[in-house]
Amino acid sequence: MTTANPVRMWGAIAGLTAAMTIGLVTDAQAQSRELWLYDGEATLVEGYFLDGEAIFGWCDQDCYDLDLFLYDIDGNLITGDDALDAEPIVYAPYSGYFYVELTMPNCSHPEGCAVWVDSTEGF
């Protein structure tokens, strides 16, 4: 699990805003759900998480890297997991509403990869 420095945080917020504006990042209603992402694509979900609640993602056999980032309600990056694996996990630092960004750095299938996101409390 990593946390970003202020430069990366503002870069991520600016990048998300720009990507949502031009349609590269979709905004999804948050709940325990299955998503579909293409290589290099990202999506946002939102939900209420309890203090210490685990938020995690995983993807199908064609996915070799999935990243997950947690933002507060104001869009500030709180924490993220950008390890080179397909099972990212982060923890809510306090109870409240958050945005969860899932990014697909490596999906080998041209038709995209199935992605799941959930939490220990089933947001």
pLDDT of 85 reads: 97
Task: Look at residue 48 and give its three-state secondary structure.
Answer: strand
Residue 52 has pLDDT above 80, yes or no: yes
pLDDT of 86 reads: 97
Q: Specify if 37 maps to a domain.
A: yes
Task: Give dist(CA 54, CA 57) in Å, integer.
Answer: 10
Whole-prediction pTM value?
0.75
pLDDT per residue as tens digits for the range 54-95: 999 999 999 999 999 999 999 999 999 999 999 999 999 999
Q: Specify if 36 maps to a domain.
A: yes
Evaluate the CA torsion angle 122, 92, 101, 48 in order and state its sign. Answer: positive
Task: Give dist(CA 11, CA 21) in Å, integer.
Answer: 15
DSSP 21-35: HHTSEEEE--SSEEE
Question: Tokens 């070799």 appear where?
Answer: 64
Q: Specify if 1 maps to a domain.
A: no
Domain extent for 90: 6-119
Residue 3 has pLDDT above 80, yes or no: no
| Number of domains composing the chain | 1
Residue 123 has pLDDT above 90, yes or no: no
